[in-house]
Amino acid sequence: MKLRTVGITGIGAHVPEQILSNADLEQRHHVSDQWIRRRTGVVERRICTREQATSDLAVPAARQALAAAGLRPEEVQFIITATMTPDHLWPSAGSTIQGRLGAVNAGACDLNAACSGFVYALAVGTQLVRSGLYDNVLVIGADVISKFVDWTDPKTYLFGDGAGAVVLQPIADREEGLIDFMLGSDGSRGDILQLPAGGSRRPSSHETLDQGLHRPVMDGYDTFEFAATAVMDSIEKVLARTSYSIEDVDLIVPHQANQRLFRPVAKWLGISVDKFFVNIERYGNTVAASVPIGLYEAVHRKRLKKGDLVVLTAFGAGLTWAGAVLRWTYSPNDGHEILHP
């Protein structure tokens, strides 16, 4: 059986309307705007209301991606949602989104690889299409991390909420499309970035709530050190799986974890930091939504055009990291920005 070439044929993104700026945090918690900018690069982030959940962001992003690809919801055959903040522990966010979209002929599931989740889901979705099992696969990255963080902890000031989605379909061989992936994990170091309670190990209780165990725990120094290594490792290893070198790459779309990461990584790789697409100043770290929102904005800011060679890189809790190489095949029909409610 000949494997098919797979490309991204539609893309969408959605963020909440509510903005939480550094100035807002400065007034509430007496941490200066300049302090946050210097340490993270974040100026503002989008935050869900009390009533909003992950599917409320994912559904509009998915609808936009389907419209861009010229697909009706009933033509979607499978939905993979990368998230670590589903609406509920069960049913899955994927099934909730499938129902709300009216994708009546689609299977659906979630994939949790934290901030690496979208690239992981992209790898899985690509194989579903490449093998010939499905023709129309919807891949979503969405998270509402603001509901979990402790906003009195300065380490959490880099986070924001959002969603992004892409449609995967078979394309002509000569276009290349999604070329290769690398996926990594080191579970022995999972304790440096975790949510201690709420799972089967430590179910929710008065005790876990009183102890604040439903808030993320992050070792800032070890996480930053891991992140820098993971970005370099994923870029070098995924390119080594192809016939391309770093000099061939037109754009790198990284997980937007911290702006301070990109300059040392660029220096290590021997490239200009301008080759990295950065939008962390507007949205912060949106977890699994970070990479697809970056792709969406890169297209509509005209930083990414049809035919460009792109590298995606991400890392997150697990610990996990991931890389992808693709030839960009999607060309938008308009230049609209991210839609809000």
CB-based contacts of 10, cutoff 8 Å, min separation 6: 65, 66, 67, 68, 69, 70, 71, 166, 167, 330
Mark whether 340 is an active-site residue: no
Mark whether 48 is an active-site residue: no
Neighbours of 206 (CB within 10 A): 7
Name the nearest CA neighbour of 121 among 149, 80, 66, 71: 80
Q: Give me the phi and psi of 218, to 5 degrees please.
A: -140, 125
Q: CA 123, CA 330: separation in Å to the nearest integer?
A: 18
Neighbours of 305 (CB within 10 A): 14
Alpha-carbon dihedral sign for residues 48, 51, 54, 56 = negative
- Residues counted in the chain: 341
Q: CA 248, CA 73: separation in Å to the nearest integer?
A: 37
Q: Give me the phi and psi of 24, to 5 degrees please.
A: -65, -45
CB 180 within 8 A of CB 21: no
Choice among 112, 258, 279, 285 that is catalytic: 285
Choice among 14, 22, 48, 115 that is catalytic: 115
Q: CA 283, CA 160: separation in Å to the nearest integer?
A: 6
Strand-pair category, 78-82 with 107-111: parallel
CA-CA distances (angstroms) from residue 261 to 123, 255, 264, 280, 313?
24, 10, 6, 12, 12
| Burial (CB count within 10 angstroms: exposed 0-12, middle 13-18, buried 19+), residue 133 | exposed
CB-based contacts of 192, cutoff 8 Å, min separation 6: 218, 219, 222, 223, 226, 319
Choice among 48, 136, 255, 258 that is catalytic: 255
Kindly list the catalytic residues: 115, 255, 285
